Amino acid sequence: MATPIISPENVGPPPYSSSLGFLPRPSFSARARTRAPRQSLRFKDRATGVDVTLVGTMHYNPVSIELASSTVTRLREADALHAVVLESCPSRWKKTQKTQPPGSFLRWFLYNEMLAAADAAGDPTKIRLGDQRIEDLGACARRTIADTTRDVLNPLGGWGRLVRDWRDGFDREINGRGDARGNLRAADLWRDAALLLGMPVSMFKYPMAWAIKSPKVIVPFAAFVWGIERIPTLVRPGGFDAVTGAYVMSGEERLVSALFLALDVAEVVFVSRLFLKALLETRNDILSRSIRVACEESVESGEGGGVVAVLGAAHLNGVQLRLMGDGDDEWWAGAGEGSGEGAGEDVAPAEAPSR
């Protein structure tokens, strides 16, 4: 069955009603309703010709929840939906079902865009868990940290590698195809007043969800931060010069100042590379493969239907670049080589989302 063509009038953002009830979205004019939502990218997969919609989200933001739900709902009601790829993996999805069972307070309180998209699909066989397995993400992050440590300690060759990785990573994962060729732009986020109003909700709920679902990660991290902040209170203070009245730091204070300067530099170096390599580049490869596999399934089924992927907004440009074929195909050639992907795994019927 040929994939129905969705007219522009059916693509724009619907009237918004926040799931929390206190973040009304400004009403849209008739003209505005004909435009695609700012945080979505629509295009055809180069290899299969299947329609792909990437929904960029700010995790736990009520506006993103509504966007994910409405996008999937429109395609499903038009009989134009083959699959929904979620930025999740089997382990994370099972933990979500365990900590947020249907009808529970946490299901309501920590309801997010992934659950909303799965609910909107209405059929668990349409859901694909397309992200890197969380167990492999940890291993990938450790490798990146080890590689960065070696490069930092090697000024002759390592520093050049760091600069190249930052430059190439930004160009590919952040800049993608470029703003003039249909990228998600920073302005698409900060010019959305309703999305910005929902940002405090995201900043509160996202870390809370991590603390509830992964206390083994959050507790040690919080303890480390607390310990670092306590260091200045443990050193011998300096004093004031009797002649000039200027404050003179003690030797211990100078040492702590040097330590914190080193930590600031290390934070920039390590976090930026970890973000670009482990959290974006590797996962964008895996997410793109999962979406491509779903597109191939759509073609092989003969029924047609598009693929919707619900992702964090930072992933959109890199994933679009890969699927539209503007970059190299190493991400596709590397499929099945132990990259730790969720392999677009289906959601078992027993795990079917329900609000």
| 12, pLDDT greater than 60 | no
Give residue 37's pLDDT: 67
Give residue 34's pLDDT: 39
CA distances (Å), origin 244, targets 31, 49, 201, 294: 69, 76, 50, 73
Percent with pLDDT over 90 in the chain: 54
Stretch 331-341: mean pLDDT, rounded? 53
- Please name every residue paired with 132 in a beta bridge, in sequence order, or none if there are none: 341
What tens digit of pLDDT does each residue of 15-59 get?
Answer: 334 444 444 433 333 333 334 567 999 999 999 999 999 999 999
Lowest mean pLDDT among 85-89, 201-205, 231-235, 256-260: 231-235
**At residue 291, what are phi and psi to the nearest 5 degrees?**
-70, -40
Do residues 88 and 113 lie in contact, with contact meaning Cβ atoms separated by under 8 Å?
no
**At residue 95, what are phi and psi to the nearest 5 degrees?**
-65, -35
What tens digit of pLDDT does each residue of 294-331 get?
Answer: 999 999 998 889 999 999 999 999 999 999 986 556 66
| 182, pLDDT greater than 70 | yes
Q: Which residue has the tokens 């291993």?
A: 139
* Confidence band for 344, pLDDT divided at 50, 70 and 90: low
Give residue 52's pLDDT: 96
What tens digit of pLDDT does each residue of 119-160 get?
Answer: 999 999 999 999 999 989 889 999 999 999 999 999 999 999
Give residue 31's pLDDT: 36
Give residue 253's pLDDT: 86
d(CA 124, CA 117): 11
* Confidence band for 221, pLDDT divided at 50, 70 and 90: confident
* Confidence band for 267, pLDDT divided at 50, 70 and 90: confident
Closest to 86 in 3D by CA, of 69, 106, 74: 69
d(CA 243, CA 237): 19
d(CA 232, CA 30): 58
Do residues 69 and 119 lie in contact, with contact meaning Cβ atoms separated by under 8 Å?
yes
| 111, pLDDT greater than 50 | yes
**At residue 68, what are phi and psi to the nearest 5 degrees?**
-60, -45
Give residue 346's pLDDT: 60
| 288, pLDDT greater than 90 | yes
Give residue 328's pLDDT: 58
Helical segments of the chain, H only: 30-33, 62-77, 90-99, 105-109, 113-121, 134-152, 158-169, 186-190, 193-197, 199-213, 215-230, 251-273, 282-301, 316-323, 330-333
Give me the residue spans of the domains in the chain: 8-351
Per-residue DSSP letters for 4-46? Answer: PPPPGGGTSPPPP--TTSS-PPPPPPHHHHTSPPTTEEEEE-T
Do residues 201 and 61 lie in contact, with contact meaning Cβ atoms separated by under 8 Å?
yes
Query: Is residue 307 helix, strand or coil?
Result: strand
Stretch 224-246: mean pLDDT, rounded? 83
User: Global pTM?
Assistant: 0.79
Percent with pLDDT over 70 in the chain: 80
Burial 202-221 (b: 16+ CB within 10 A, else e): beebbeebeeebeeeebeee
Q: How many residues does the chain have?
A: 355
d(CA 254, CA 236): 11
